[in-house]
Structure 1
Amino acid sequence: MEETKTYTISIYTENSVGLLNRISGIFVKRHINIESINVSESEIDHVMRFIIVVHTTETWVKNIVGQIEKQIDVIRAYYHGDEEIIYLQTGLFKIASHLLFDERQIQNIIKESHAQIVTVSREFFVITKSGRKEEIEALYEALKPFGIMQFVRTGRVSVSKAEMEISSLLKAFIH
């Protein structure tokens, strides 16, 4: 039986309405859960980049990428294992302000985790932490006993270690 592991799928697309729905439908049909999704502008003008993280087999991820590339607005799709990319996520933690001064241990947690305080008000302060999912989860677990007012974590963002030929591919279309 083929090994399942985490794959990051990068999809370069035109910015069109309904594409996210069509792409997510490809995963739904195969009963594959999307672990995280991020959509932003790419390094190419007027081209969007989806970053989707899934836990599946290489056979399934190849199949999914093939189906995604058949979508009209998709320019190109790639998949990579964790060892082929540089990636991170960011978490934001909202904590009651009095704890920053009353619980000295919180200051140590922030320092030891290499997190940063981004804002402080009378009622709350906000900490940000960028890194691997496990690092953000560890900070969450360390802060949880003190009370977290709000927490949010982004989806994965990544760049590949190897060059992706998307820029040269698009230049060929333009010229």
Structure 2
Amino acid sequence: MTTKKLYTVIIFSENTVGLLNQITIIFTRRQLNIETLSVSPSAIQGIHKFTITTFADEDMIDKVVKQIDKRVDILKAYYNTDEDLVFQEIALYKLSTELFIKMGTVEDLIRKYNARILEMNETCVVLEKSGHYDETQALFKELSETIGVLQFIRSGRVAITKSRVERLSDMLADMERKLQEKQNKQQ
């Protein structure tokens, strides 16, 4: 039996209407649950970057990425393990101001979790914590057990590879080099 592990799929594309739906259908057909999803412009002008996490075995994630890569609108898709990436999530916690102040150890809590106060008014306090899942979850657990959490939200993973540049940059540079060579041969 193969063991499933968390993979991060990074997809580069132009910002095309309906593309996200096409990508999620590929995961659904293979009965893979998307754990987190984040989409934003990449470092390359006009190119968007999708960051998707899912639990799968390597054979399955390889098939999914190859299928995504075949889409016309996709420039390139890759999968990575946590060891290949620098990644973070952000979490927001909404708490009762009255109960938060009564805690008494607010400063210790903020320092312990390296969190920060985003908003504080007479009714609520909003804390922000960035980090890995287990770090944001640990703060949630402590707050839930001590004073209660009114609202909680965690972002999808944002990730960059540990390599010097995005793999897409290398691919685009290689395509540009080949195009230049072809043009030089025609002259």
Normalised by the shorter chain, which TM-score bucket? over 0.9
SS at match of 2:108: helix
SS at match of 2:31: coil
Q: Does 1:152 align with 2:157?
A: no
Relative to the length of structure 1, the TM-score reads: 0.94
Partner Cα distance (2:139, 2:109) in 1: 8
Match of residue 167 from structure 1:
169
What per-residue deviation string (whole Å, max 9, x for no partner) do you get for residues 109-134 of structure 1? Answer: 22211111111111111100000000
SS at match of 2:7: strand
Residue correspondence of structure 1 range 113-152 to structure 2 within 5 A: 113-145=113-145, 146-152=147-153
Rg comparison, structure with higher value: 2
Partner Cα distance (1:57, 1:132) in 2: 22
Partner Cα distance (1:54, 1:45) in 2: 27
Q: Quote the offset at 1:70 in angstroms.
A: 1.1
Q: Which amino acid aligns with 2:87?
A: Y
What per-residue deviation string (whole Å, max 9, x for no partner) do you get for residues 17-51 of structure 1? Answer: 11011100001101011110000000101110000
Q: Give identity over the alignment, percent.
A: 34
Higher strand share: 1
Q: Which runs of 5+ in 2 are unaligned?
A: 181-187
Partner Cα distance (1:42, 1:93) in 2: 28
Partner Cα distance (1:28, 1:102) in 2: 46
Partner Cα distance (1:12, 1:98) in 2: 46
Q: Which amino acid aligns with 2:151?
A: Q
Match of residue 86 from structure 1:
86
Please provide the CA RMSD for this pair: 1.5
SS at match of 2:79: strand
Q: Which runs of 5+ in 1 are unaligned?
A: none
What per-residue deviation string (whole Å, max 9, x for no partner) do you get for residues 87-109 of structure 1? Answer: 11000001111123212134432
Match of residue 98 from structure 2:
98
What per-residue deviation string (whole Å, max 9, x for no partner) do you get for residues 65-88 of structure 1? Answer: 000011111000011011111111
Q: Which amino acid aligns with 1:154?
A: S
Partner Cα distance (1:64, 1:119) in 2: 41
Moved more, 161-170 or 29-38: 161-170
